[in-house]
Amino acid sequence: MASEAMFSRGIIGKRIIIIDATNKSLVSLHGLVVDETRSTFVVETADHQTKRLLKSAITFRLEGEQDVLHGAALKKRPEERLKG
């Protein structure tokens, strides 16, 4: 599992791959995180579609990383994670 330090660095600008989701059609979706709110990630896919994903409904990993991240563990605004 990824450390809290990784969470505080932020996810915006990172490429993610969905490895599990309550909506199984999202599994294998990958793209660039272009925005983040307390409860969602906004991901731009390779075909330039924008998808708003509920953090609580996805498990993902950062492209090029092995750590599995549970979106529910990130249910804070990015600026709140920086505060600790």
User: Which pLDDT does position 26 carry in this prediction?
Assistant: 96
User: Which pLDDT does position 4 carry in this prediction?
Assistant: 45
| pLDDT mean over 5-11 | 62
Asked if residue 26 lies in contact with residue 18, where contact means CB atoms within 8 angstroms, the answer is yes
Domain that includes residue 44, residue range: 4-83
Phi, psi of 33 (to 5 degrees): -75, 115
User: Which pLDDT does position 40 carry in this prediction?
Assistant: 94
User: Which pLDDT does position 79 carry in this prediction?
Assistant: 58
Q: Residue 29, Cβ neighbours under 10 Å: how many? A: 20
Residue 22 maps to which CATH number? 2.30.30.210
User: Which pLDDT does position 63 carry in this prediction?
Assistant: 92
What's the pLDDT tens digit per position in 22-80?
999 999 999 999 999 989 999 999 999 999 999 999 999 999 999 999 988 887 665 56
> How many independent structural domains does the chain possess?
1
